[in-house]
């Protein structure tokens, strides 16, 4: 039978995954939520003028 606790202790993620994660987390990526928030701010600003 597999001892999951022992297997977890032996687990080491591959370096490629860690490098990719660091690159992705280090970038300031604009997503759809950021775009929508900016559009709503502009709409509110135009409404005030």
Confidence (pLDDT) at 48: 79
Largest CA distance in the chain: 70
Confidence at residue 41, expressed as pLDDT on a 0 to 100 scale: 94
Assign 20 to helix, strand or coil.
helix
Per-residue pLDDT at 13? 78
Asked whether residue 8 carries a pLDDT value surpassing 80, the answer given is: yes
Mean pLDDT of 21-48: 85
> What pLDDT is attached to residue 10?
92
**Distance (Å, rounded) from C-alpha 21 to C-alpha 16?**
8
d(CA 25, CA 4): 29
Higher pLDDT among residues 48 and 3, named by residue: 3
């Amino acid at each position: 039978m597999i001892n999951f606790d022992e297997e977890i202790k032996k687990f080491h993620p591959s370096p490629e995954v860690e490098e990719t994660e660091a690159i992705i987390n280090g970038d300031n990526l604009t997503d759809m939520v950021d775009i929508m928030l900016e559009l709503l701010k502009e709409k509110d600003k135009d409404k005030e003028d």
